[in-house]
Structure 1
């Protein structure tokens, strides 16, 4: 349970940092989740569409449209037609969003990377294996639509 409690504490701290970032940049926490999703899909080399974004965030079509309108207006996200299938819209994060995130989260990321330097490659493999298993366990059952209020 020590690991579970520590993971919860790290999660709370990261959530607070994300909330600070969102608030200081006039964003909703869902906006931040959308940007993270789009950055992750870009890193993975997969195409991000409004449908995939809505599925990942648990938003309906109207909610995704409002979210994208807001992020596009702020210059953080771009929508463009897919050259291979003109019916499909692709999403990407603008450089402004990357720079904004780097300016806020860069020092934290640097400290996390430096902390990893104190571990051997084998220890880091073990940490990676645990965090992967924790993510899979967490994602195995989606949260209730009512937030667990029932």
Structure 2
């Protein structure tokens, strides 16, 4: 029964997190996907659209649209590789770091206060859970994307076969 309550709470919190991130993204004139892509890419060096697609599980065409919006907002610039002109790197303009940090500061402070109310042992368990939860979510994103690609491929083959019949 406790597992079911935790699962329901996780689902509820995921929905609330999406709403919170959208409110913050609104302040930048972005959508929550754009802001999350920007945040997920913060530790990447030599970031390409393909790498960002891999990190997020989004298609490269969707990532191109995200990068167009981020570029228009002045948050990223595109730079061609000096050795392979076909390769384009995405770089932060630096503008977003301070602004995003400021926007998320109240959330960070509230979470810090909440976390500091737990024992060291509880924090170790929470850290392990959140780490494994993130890994699981990344795996599920990859599975869902692979299933969509496979279904799209199968539908295209079926469509092509029906046209030749």
TM-score normalized by the length of structure 2: 0.71
Partner of 2:69 in structure 1?
Answer: 70
Tell me the alpha carbon deviations over residues 79-134 of structure 1, each in whole angstroms, 9 at most, x when there is no partner.
Answer: 22456x44433223332211221222111111111211112222211111112222
Report the alpha carbon displacement of residue 35 of structure 1 after superposing the two structures with TM. 0.7
Which among 13, 19, 23 is matched to residue 20 of structure 1? 23
Structure 1 spans left out of the alignment, 5+ residues: none
Structure 2 spans left out of the alignment, 5+ residues: 150-165
Stretches (4+) displaced over 3 A: 57-63, 85-88
Partner of 1:141 in structure 2?
Answer: 140
Query: In 2, Cα distance between the equivalents of 1:32 and 1:103?
Result: 14
Query: In 1, Cα distance between the equivalents of 2:18 and 2:58?
Result: 20
Partner of 2:8 in structure 1?
Answer: 5
Q: Do the aligned residues in 1 keep the contact of 2:21 with 2:32 (CA within 8 Å)? A: yes
SS of 2:148 mapped into structure 1: coil
* Larger helix proportion of the pair: 2
Number of residue pairs the alignment of both structures matches = 141
